[in-house]
Every structure is written in structure tokens, then in C-alpha cells.
Amino acid sequence: MIKKLLYLLCFSCLVNSSVFAQLDNSFFDLDKYDQPLDSSHLQFEFDNLSYFRNTEYSSLVDKGSTFPGFHLLPYVKYSFNKNAELSAGLFLRYDFGNPQIKTLEPYFKFKYRLWGHDLIFGNLEGSVQHRLIEPLFDYEYAVTNRMEHGLQIKYPGKHIDYDFWIDWQKTIYQDDPFNEIFFGGLNLYVNPIVTESTKLKLNTQFLTVHSAGEIDRSIESNTMEYNIAFGIIFEHQFNPDNAITLSGHAAFYEDYSRPSAYGFRDGLGQFAFINYTHKTFQFVLTYWDAHQFQAPVGDRLYQSVGRKNINNPIDYRKVIGFRIANELKIGHNLVFLNRLGLNYNIDHAKADVIMENYLRWHFSLKPKQVKLY
């Protein structure tokens, strides 16, 4: 495995990679429309994400699915001072065709700015906002698992930019019949060149998913899985309407579970893409080449084992893909996003189609001064 790591690390240094991974997913950022508040001010905000995401998969790894529905997130935000703010509300997810609400949970986020860092407790600025490559993180979670909970430290610096977090996904109590589960990671960018038109960035991504516990009565196996990726970033802005990103990552999988989760202990992959942006359009060409690669929260289309072949791994994967996306601004903070993607599995000559439509609407009331003392 060490020889493979050194080989692919050298390979990754010859290719380039993007801050946003394949497509720019900032459309889904939870704080996309947040504005700073003056001290002792309270503001009501409402966020809506409507979606119709359909996947038609003929490959031998994963099954297609359809998600039509919407998210609602009404919340209030209070600013104690220029460095500390609190947000609290309610998150709801409803899928059409289901008489029950899929998700209904409290929303709580405390954010404190210290020495240029953002310290976050409660609901994280997570999911696709972690800016991970798709083989490590499935951006379908922007619909199915948008909320993360735990601790997060972010540093959005010019030459150093990182995101460190722990997302506590399942808590256990005495004699519970299941394991506790948490997901943690680090996404680090070191930016040696940052000019008005050109950026060169070195990237390291690290993830772990752990399932275990001491006070439960679960008969499930304890699991500890890791993913790591190395990449180099090159972005060039030709003019306000045209930009290009060249990307490449070397990605790795390690399994320290007993027994192993998928029947193999390690794996590796190479992921490269070109992203060309013209005004509101994005055109993306991707390539994936891997051997026994798994990622517990990654896109299953890039893995050796998925929902369709759980007992029959495909050790070698080669996939090329093409994406096109367009954002249409309809009104103030009202944006429609359309995406169409095609992946072709070279290893077994099957194609996968991804069709996505999203509508995001956000509004806020005028802030009011409220002194809590």
C-alpha cells in the first residue's frame, strides 16, 4: 500500500484540481445568503430548497432513485457582537408521494469568530459545503442528508484555507441495540499562488467514519474506515464571463474494521476533471480510475461495491462522465438550478444518467435591535 501511496501522490502532483470539486455546489451552502448583523440585532430568515432529482443507473454497482420534494428552514438569527451569533429554528424535509414528513428536527447553530477562525457548534456548515471530491462525498446528501450536527472549525484564509469537523450522526444510550456513528474530516488548502486571475492550490482531504460503542447491546460489527485524497489546484479566470479549472486527485481507502466492511483492506483511485464556466453555465468532463476503492459517504458510482452488487465487488473501475449545469436567477434570492449528467462505465460498458432540478428561495425580514439584558 505504501508503494501505491507514493506512486499516486507523485501522479497527483502532475495534475490539477478544483476547490469546488467537479461542479460548483455553492448553490446549496446553508449560509449562502447570510449577511452580518450589527450587535444586539435579531433577524428572521426563511430558506426553501425544492428539488426533483432523478437517476437512471444501468451500471452494475448502484441503483437509481428519484427524490421529488422540498426543504423548509425558518430560523431567527441573533448577533451578540461582531464575533458571536446564534441561529435557531426548525428544519423540515418533505418528499412528494409520502404522506409522512421525512425529517423534522430543530436547527441550532452558534458561531464564534476568533483570530480569523470560525468556530461552530450545533448545526454545521456541512454536507457539500465541505467541498470534497465526489468519490469521497456524495453530493446527493445535499437533498437526503443536508443537516450535520457537532463541532466545526473553519479558517477561510488567503494562503491557508481549512475545514475541520465532527458530525455526530447517531447517539447511543445504555443498552441501545445499535452502534453510535460519527463522521469526521479535514479539508486543507495551501495556496502558494493567488492572483486576481490565477490560483494554484495544494489540497489534502481526510475522512473517517466510525461505528462502535461501549454501553450498547448491539451485535453489529465495529467499523473504522478512512479516506484520504491529495490534489493540486489550478484555476484561471479569462474574464468575468469565462473561467477554467483543471483538476486531479489521488484518493485512498483504508479499512481497520474487524471483520472488514467490504472484504478488502485498502483501495486507491485517480480522479481528474476539467470544468469550464461560461456566464451561468458549467461544462464538466471527469475521469475516474480505481482499484477496490470504497468511501462510506462517497458517491457509490465510483466505488467497487454499491447497493446493486453488495456480494459481488467490481475490483477495477474506469468511468468517464460529462456534466452540464445552468443557474437561472428568477428574482431576488430566487434561483433555479438545472443539471444533466452522463457517466459511462468503461469497465462493464454501462451508462448512468443523472437529471436534477432545484429551486432555492431565501428571504429575510429587516433586522431589529433587541437587547437581551
1 band by pLDDT with thresholds 50, 70 and 90: very low
- Residue-wise pLDDT for 7-66, tens only, equals 443 333 333 333 344 788 999 999 999 888 999 999 999 999 999 999 999 999 999 999
360 is a domain residue: yes
10 is a domain residue: yes
- Residue-wise pLDDT for 275-284, tens only, equals 999 999 999 9
At residue 366, the pLDDT reads 94
42 is a domain residue: no
pLDDT value at 79 more than 90: yes
CA-closest candidate to residue 301, choices 343, 339, 273: 343
**Span 224-232, average pLDDT:** 95
pLDDT value at 244 more than 60: yes
77 is a domain residue: no
At residue 260, the pLDDT reads 84
44 is a domain residue: no
349 is a domain residue: yes
**Span 173-193, average pLDDT:** 91
pLDDT value at 373 more than 80: no
188 is a domain residue: yes
- Residue-wise pLDDT for 260-308, tens only, equals 888 888 999 999 999 999 999 999 999 999 999 999 999 999 999 998 8
**Can you give the CATH number for the domain in which 318 is found?**
2.40.160
49 is a domain residue: no
HSE value, Cβ hemisphere, 13 Å, CA-based, for 293: 29
**Span 151-171, average pLDDT:** 95
d(CA 223, CA 258): 7
pTM of the model: 0.88
d(CA 201, CA 331): 34
Domain that holds residue 229: 2-32+55-69+114-369
- Domain count along the chain: 1
d(CA 167, CA 150): 5
